[in-house]
């Protein structure tokens, strides 16, 4: 049997402990499959005395992850500390520069520094694997780096954040307001005490940036992603979507156009009959469209100790087998500069919700403003009277829902600005893209 593959694990939180458990339970099976022992040599964490529920006594302990990254006692550095900079970045750089393979689940690190780290891995002839960084236990990175290389990928999209999907699912199934479901998600451990990173769409955007580079051979461009979270989705939007035959999902979408690459994260109405509409709770899914494969979709657990550890161990096994691909599929020196696509019409149209003042001619004026921007309306639905109470008494607002045909976002926003200036509406309009998928 070949020499053992020695591992150093930096970060012993939920995921790190999950990796230890998998390796301790299945170490013998991994050795049989790879032809060499796969063994933990060292671990790094600040708190050595914390009871983590696993036996760590036989491993060399480092209180400093950077020192472990530079240590010559192991072959693979597994970074599970998190964060886009600081000790995580310094440790990964040091490990690559010292000729160690790196496995990480850190999507923020990759979204910000992935292009440079990929080049560093290639320059030092080592692997940089990150299956667990996108969609947890779903093998989307391996699928794109290996199984789909014979395709010209045109679009990649998906539900990439379980917290948001859980919230939207609960709102839809139980008719609860966003704030109440968010509080329940925090109590259940699905959402952080500060949920901004998730519900604001940042987590989804980090993952989308990685998928975009893999799909289209471009440098990572997280800062170029149009970003909109779910914090403004109301129960009235959930109910309206249901009546119209849709579900609301937070999607990350990247697609190739004639003018460049389009990257966007935003709430989206998807038809009820589609597979993606049925993805509920904390489950993730990723869809890919290619010229030969047509359309595929992978669905599974997007987070959690078990699924994430499973993905990490899969990356380790690739290294044990001697599989070493360019981290971003295209060699770093050949990655194209990211070119943002020009504004174009959104094929699925838009859902717009307005609180319209109960004045004669208000609806007609709104329709006129839309027509001035060449926006064709599929429907205008006037809901029941708004039951809100203002300082002056009962509200005289009427909720109105508009569904447009294909149009550009700039046209929609200009029309809404004109409508607001006319004084016919109160508050900001709600606007959600509709995707046919």
Give catalytic residue positions. 207
Question: H/E element holding 121?
Answer: helix 107-123
Query: Alpha-carbon distance 356 to 89, whole Å?
Result: 51
Q: State how far the Cα of 297 lies from the Cα of 313, in Å rounded to an integer.
A: 23
Structure tokens at 279: 């993805």
CB distance 377 to 370 below 8 Å: yes
| Token pair 């992935």 in the structure block, residue | 114
Mind giving me the DSSP string for 26-70? Answer: HHHHHHHHHSS-EEEEEEE-S-SS---SS--TTSEEES-HHHHHH
Q: What is the DSSP string of 168-234?
A: HHHHHHH---HHHHHHHHHHHTSS-SSTHHHHTTHHHHHHHHHHHHHHH-B---GGGSEE--STT--
The whole-angstrom separation of Cα 292 and Cα 150 is: 8
For residue 59, CA distances in Å to 43, 95, 179, 307 come to: 7, 19, 45, 24
Contact 139, 307 (CB under 8 A): no
The answer for residues whose C-beta is within 8 angstroms of residue 224's C-beta and 6 or more apart is 263, 338, 340
Torsional sign, CA 367, 370, 372, 376: negative
Which residue is associated with the tokens 């379980």? 162
* Two structure tokens written together for 150: 């014979």
Nearest Cα neighbor of 399 from 417, 416, 386, 380 is 386
């Amino acid at each position: 049997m070949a020499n053992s593959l020695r591992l150093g694990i930096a970060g012993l939180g939920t995921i790190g402990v999950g990796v230890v458990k998998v390796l301790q339970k299945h170490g013998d099976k991994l050795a049989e499959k790879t032809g060499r022992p796969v063994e933990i040599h060292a671990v790094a964490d600040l708190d050595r005395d914390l009871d983590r529920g696993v036996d760590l006594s036989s491993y060399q302990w480092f209180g400093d992850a950077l020192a472990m990254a530079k240590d010559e006692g192991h072959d693979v550095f597994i970074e599970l500390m998190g964060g886009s900079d600081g000790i995580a970045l310094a440790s990964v750089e040091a490990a690559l520069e010292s000729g160690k393979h790196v496995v990480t689940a850190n999507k923020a690190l990759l979204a910000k520094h992935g292009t440079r780290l990929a080049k560093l891995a290639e320059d030092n002839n080592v692997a940089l694997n990150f299956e667990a960084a996108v969609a947890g236990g779903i093998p989307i990175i391996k699928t794109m780096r290996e199984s789909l290389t014979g395709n010209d990928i045109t679009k990649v999209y998906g539900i990439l954040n379980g917290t948001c999907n859980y919230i939207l699912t609960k709102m839809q199934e139980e008719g609860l307001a966003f704030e109440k479901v968010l509080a329940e998600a925090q109590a259940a451990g699905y959402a952080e005490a500060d949920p901004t990173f998730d519900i604001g769409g940042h987590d989804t955007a980090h993952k989308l940036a990685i998928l975009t580079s893999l799909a289209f051979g471009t440098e990572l461009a997280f800062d170029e992603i149009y970003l909109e979270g779910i914090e403004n989705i109301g129960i009235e939007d959930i109910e309206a979507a249901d009546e119209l035959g849709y579900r609301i999902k937070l999607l990350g979408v990247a697609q190739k156009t004639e003018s460049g690459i389009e990257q966007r994260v935003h709430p989206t109405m998807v038809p009820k009959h589609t597979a993606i509409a049925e993805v509920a709770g904390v489950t993730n899914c990723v869809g890919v469209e290619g010229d030969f494969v047509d359309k595929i979709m992978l669905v599974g657990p997007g987070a959690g100790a078990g699924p994430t550890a499973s993905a990490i161990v899969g990356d380790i096994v690739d290294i044990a087998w001697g599989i070493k691909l360019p981290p971003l599929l295209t060699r770093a020196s050949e990655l194209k500069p990211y070119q943002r696509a020009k504004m174009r019409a959104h094929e699925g149209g838009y859902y717009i919700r307005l609180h319209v003042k109960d004045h004669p001619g208000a609806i007609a004026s709104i329709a006129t403003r839309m027509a001035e921007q060449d926006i064709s309306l599929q429907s205008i639905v006037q809901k029941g009277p708004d039951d809100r109470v203002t300082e002056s008494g009962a509200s005289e607002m009427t909720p109105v829902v508009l569904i447009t045909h294909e149009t550009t976002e700039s046209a929609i926003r200009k029309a809404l600005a004109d409508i607001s200036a006319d004084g016919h509406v109160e508050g900001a309009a709600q606007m959600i893209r509709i995707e046919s998928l």
